[in-house]
Amino acid sequence: MDNKTIRKDFFRYIFANVISSIGVSIYILIDTFFISKGMGSDGLAALNLSLPVFSFLNGFGLMLGMGGGSIFSMMYCRTERSETDKVFTNAFISVGFLSVLFEVAGIFFSEQITHLLGADPAVFALSHDYLKTILLFSPAFLLNNLIVCFLRNDCAPKLAMTGILSGSLANVILDYVFIFTLGMGMKGAALATCIAPFVSLGVMSFHFLTGWNAFTFRLLHPSLSIIKDIVSLGLHAFFTEVSGGVVIFVFNFVIYHLMGNTGIAAYGVIANIAIVFTAVFVGISSGVQPLMCRYHGRSADSSIKYLLRLSVITSVIVAIISYILIYSLTSPIVDVFNSSGESDMRSIAENGLRIYFLFMPFMGVNAIMSVYFSSDEKPHIAQIISLLRGTFLVIPAIFLAYLLHSIGMVWLAVPISELITTVTAFCIYVVRQRKKKTVYQNLSLTNNRELTC
């Protein structure tokens, strides 16, 4: 396929996916804005303490969605419809199983989880209200992520985008109604967020009602081998999301001991804005994922290389533009979430934004490299990249900053970890390309000798 066609498909896919990914992240950002207006810095701290659970929900949903979607995309043109239905059905069954676990956690263990996340008496009630509501509505979040990923791989990225944006709009309206009109506080913010995926699923259901879908649910016995393949290919997405939640948890712990709840509130602003910008790079990587899987299924190596180059260049350009915006608009951004005008929180948040957001160019490249290796059926390499950037490097860096009592080092932990991961991923890619080149050369020599004989 010529590069012009590939480029056209690339921008068509990533536009829809970036918009829909931002739509998902706006669920939390909208809550952050309205909670800051309605409940001040304590509300922001309570929300930030609950974010790791949201990361786990999104992580499991994306793991099953991107893993199942990748297999579906590879099989799309070369197998029977019944086989793609098996993939979706097993992913759906896995969502059901995980939903039960989250429901049990919400009903019986929500208080213990709130304590575990570090809520002190000042913010415990607010954190618990938000957390328990989110856990009780967990099936909607899991299923929403699953359907979004499958629609993207079933040539319906615009419908997936429309569904997500519809949910985000509902969230905006309901946040205002529940928090300010009805005075429901944190429960209202959580309830608005929980209703949003139902709206999104309602819009995306048109894909099935109109018969456009190339997958559907069938009454089948679960297949552990299919579920294993789904999890294997989607595990990098899980690690990326969950490691983000783990990092937020560790950041909360360290910042609380360095600066108390004011520091956590400031970090809450940084973390929530970071979720939106991270969604841009997740959108680029998830947008290119169906195309890479499709070309891998066709063994079109040159097309995959062009897509990889195009994705990396696009991601770096977007990161540079984003950082310029963040740096130049730091004060107005912080003021939006600092309705009480706390000078300490403003100072901490402004300094943190300018340092923390240096992570963006490297994070974008790492997200794309994870998808590239997963699409090349090398999920273990994708998992290594996700673990390096999300856990193995950043957590030791944060604790080192804690030992040094340096808040500046805390903000630098993520950019440094992302940079080291980018260098590692690039080295792995170069080594693999050299090995492939050597294999092709040896195969060519063998064929020439056979022809000569």
Residue 177 located in a structural domain:
yes
> 116 by DSSP, 3-state: which?
helix
Share of the chain above pLDDT 70, in %: 93
Q: Is 66 part of any domain?
A: yes
How many Cα atoms are found within 13 Å in the side-chain-facing hemisphere of 292? 29
pLDDT of residue 81: 67
Amino acid making up residue 417: S
Residue 57 and residue 188: Cα distance in Å, rounded?
20
Angle between helices 301-328 and 3-75 (to 10 degrees): 100
Residue 436 lies in a domain: no
- Please report the pLDDT score of residue 138 as a whole number: 93
Note down the domain range covering 34. Answer: 3-419
Least confident of 123-132, 353-362, 374-383: 374-383
Locate 91 and state its tokens. Answer: 């992913």
Other C-beta atoms closer than 10 Å to the C-beta of 137 total 23
Q: Is the pTM of this model over 0.75?
A: no
The pLDDT of residue 428 is 92
Kindly state the average pLDDT of the residues 266-288. Answer: 83
The verdict on residue 302 lying in a domain is yes
Residue pair 274/31 in contact (Cβ under 8 Å)? The answer is: no
Structural domains in the chain (count): 1
pLDDT at 114: 92
Tokens 């997963």, located at residue: 374
Spatial separation of the C-alpha atoms in residues 399 and 8, rounded to whole Å:
45
Name the residue among 267, 256, 194 with its Cα closest to residue 47: 267
Structure tokens at 274: 């970071």
Contact 206, 32 (CB under 8 A): no
- 445 within domain boundaries: no
Quote the CA–CA distance of 149 and 68 in Å, as a whole number: 8
In a domain, 346, yes or no: yes
The answer as to whether 90 is a domain residue is yes
Which of 25-34, 39-48, 167-176 has maximum average pLDDT? Answer: 167-176
Tokens 């402004």 belong to: 350
451 within some domain: no
Dihedral of the CA atoms 251, 252, 257, 263 (nearest 10)? 100
Nearest to 52 by CA among 111, 99, 118: 118
Three-class secondary structure of residue 73 per DSSP = helix
DSSP code of residue 359: G
CA–chain centroid gap for 154, Å, is: 20
Query: Does the structure show a pLDDT above 70 at 265?
Result: yes
From 146, 34, 38, select the one nearest 93 (Cα to Cα). Answer: 146
Which pLDDT belongs to residue 452? 56
Residue 108 pLDDT > 80: yes
| pLDDT number for residue 442 | 67
Q: What is the pLDDT of residues 195-242, one digit of tens each?
A: 999 999 999 998 888 877 777 888 888 889 999 999 988 887 787 778
